[in-house]
Amino acid sequence: MRQFDEHTITEAVIERLAKTQNARLRTVMSALVGHLHDFVREVQLTEAEWRTAIDFLTRVGQKSDDKRQEFILLSDTLGVSILVDAINHRQPKGVTETTVLGPFYVENPPEQPLGADISGGLQGEKLFIEGKVHSPSGKPVAGAAVDVWHSDNEGYYDVQRNDLSGPALRARFRTDQNGRFWFWTIMPRSYPVPHDGPVGEMLRVTERHPFRPAHVHFRIEAPEFETLVTHVFVAGDPYLESDAVFAVKESLIAEFPQMPPGVAPDGTEMKQPWRCLNYRFGLKPIVEAAEHVSC
What is the per-residue pLDDT across 44-66, written as a single tens digit (0 to 9) for each?
999 999 999 999 999 999 999 88
Q: Is the pLDDT of residue 288 over 60?
A: no
Find all residues with CB under 8 Å of 255, minimum gap 6, and list them.
Answer: 235, 277
Q: Is the CB of residue 231 less than 8 Å from the CB of residue 99?
A: yes
Q: Is the pLDDT of residue 25 over 50?
A: yes
- Domains of the chain, earliest start first: 1-45 (no CATH), 80-282 (2.60.130.10)
Number of other CB atoms surrounding residue 74 within 10 Å: 20
Whole-number Å distance between alpha carbons of 291 and 256: 46
Strands (E), the chain: 126-134, 145-150, 170-174, 180-186, 191-192, 211-212, 215-221, 228-234, 253-254, 258-259, 262-263, 269-270, 274-282
Burial 8-35 (b: 16+ CB within 10 A, else e): eebeebbeeeeeeeeeeeeeebbeebee
What is the model's pTM? Answer: 0.90
Question: Left, alpha or beta for 100 (phi > 0: left; psi -120 to 50: alpha)?
Answer: beta
pLDDT tens digits, 67-117: 788 999 999 999 999 999 999 999 999 999 999 998 889 999 999 999 999
Identify the burial level of 103 via C-beta atoms within 10 angstroms of its C-beta, where 0-12 means exposed, 13-18 middle and 19 or more buried. Answer: middle
* Paired strand residues for 171: 148
As a whole number of Å, the CA-based R_g of the chain is 23
pLDDT tens digits, 156-200: 998 888 888 788 999 999 999 999 999 999 999 999 999 999 999
